[in-house]
Amino acid sequence: MIVKKFFYLFIFLLLSACANTEKPSYILTNSELHQYRNGDNLRYGLLNLSSAADARGTLTYTFESRDLFTPANNFLSVFFLKTDTDGNVNFPFVNTYFTQTEDGNLTLEAYSESDKAYWLIEQGNTTTGEVFYNSPLSDISEKTVIDMPLQNCPTDISIDICTVSGSTRVDLTPLGTETVDTDYAKFEAYKFNIDWTVNTDSKLYLISGTQWVYPPLGVVKFNYTITTELGSNTLIGTLTATNIKIPAANKSASAPSL
């Protein structure tokens, strides 16, 4: 009898422990994109489906505040989206730079490669960049397109000396909302199809695939095929950690407390 009581107690404690470690679930309470700060990061578990052994590793996006000398002969404070990988994987894409408005719009400003900056700017213009994500995301009801030349501009002379050194195109197609499961949590997220091409004067980069965006964080899952002159890799990434705090109101009422 005593043994049976201990058995049931053990089962109860085991089930309780499992319930307490269950992943939280987050819902969409609004669709305004998170206002990023210097040091915000998102870490993903990364799986390379193109390798023979399905290589695994991690990818970390870190928003680093930088000042870039713009074609208008002044400095622009931008976010450098730093990418770090660990394990038997890499993320072969060009360096990217963003700015963000007070209403959350995330604007793609420039790329860099081999110590050269490539600005999204029309010939003869001084206004750089193009909106990448409109905030709130619920306002994105149809495909949006960025189709811009890239210009390389020396930092110590007039914008008139800028030369067209490539092009970029981003096609972002909304696919509604979907609940996705990651190692960090379950998220009710906006689903997008993305085709992103960067053609500099020396290299070509292409991302094609699907991404799931949870507005209080950003991208929480992606399935990309990345193509460069070295070939193509299909990468699946799911969120494993972040230092960005999610509002308590976003947690599903049925989710366990952590």
| Terminal C-alpha separation, the chain | 35
Q: What is the pLDDT of residue 157?
A: 52
Q: How many domains does the chain have?
A: 1
Query: From its phi and psi, is residue 231 left (phi > 0), alpha (psi between -120 and 50) or beta?
Result: left
- pLDDT tens digits in sequence order for the chain, 258 residues long: 544 444 443 444 444 444 445 889 999 999 999 999 999 999 999 999 876 667 899 999 999 999 988 887 788 999 999 999 998 888 999 999 999 999 999 999 999 998 889 999 987 777 899 999 999 999 999 999 999 999 988 765 555 678 899 999 999 999 999 999 999 999 999 999 999 999 998 899 999 999 999 999 999 999 999 999 989 999 999 999 999 999 999 998 754 443
Q: What is the pLDDT of residue 72?
A: 75
Q: What is the pLDDT of residue 158?
A: 55
Position of tokens 């209080």? 216
Asked if 98 and 78 touch (Cβ cutoff 8 Å), the reply is yes
Does 252 fall in a domain? no
Q: What is the pLDDT of residue 75?
A: 87
44 C-beta neighbours (distance < 10 Å), count: 27
- HEC string of 52-110? CCCCEEEEEEEEEEEEEECCCCCEEEEEEEEEEEEECCCCCCCEEEEEECCCCCEEEEE
Structural domain of 74 = 34-245
Q: What is the DSSP letter of 202?
A: S
Does 9 fall in a domain? no
Does 4 fall in a domain? no
Q: What is the pLDDT of residue 169?
A: 98
Does 26 fall in a domain? no
Does 258 fall in a domain? no
Q: Is 216 helix (H, G, I), strand (E, B) or coil?
A: coil
Q: Which of 190, 167, 168 is nearest to 178 (CA)?
A: 190
Does 10 fall in a domain? no
Q: Residue 115, class by beta-carbon neighbours within 10 Å (0-12 exposed, 13-18 middle, 19+ buried)?
A: exposed
**CA torsion, points 129, 103, 139, 60, in degrees to nearest 10?**
70
User: What's this model's pTM, rounded to 2 decimal places?
Assistant: 0.86
Does 144 fall in a domain? yes
Q: What is the pLDDT of residue 4?
A: 45
Does 28 fall in a domain? no
Asked if 249 and 173 touch (Cβ cutoff 8 Å), the reply is no
Q: What is the C-alpha separation between 42 and 238, in angstroms, rounded?
A: 10
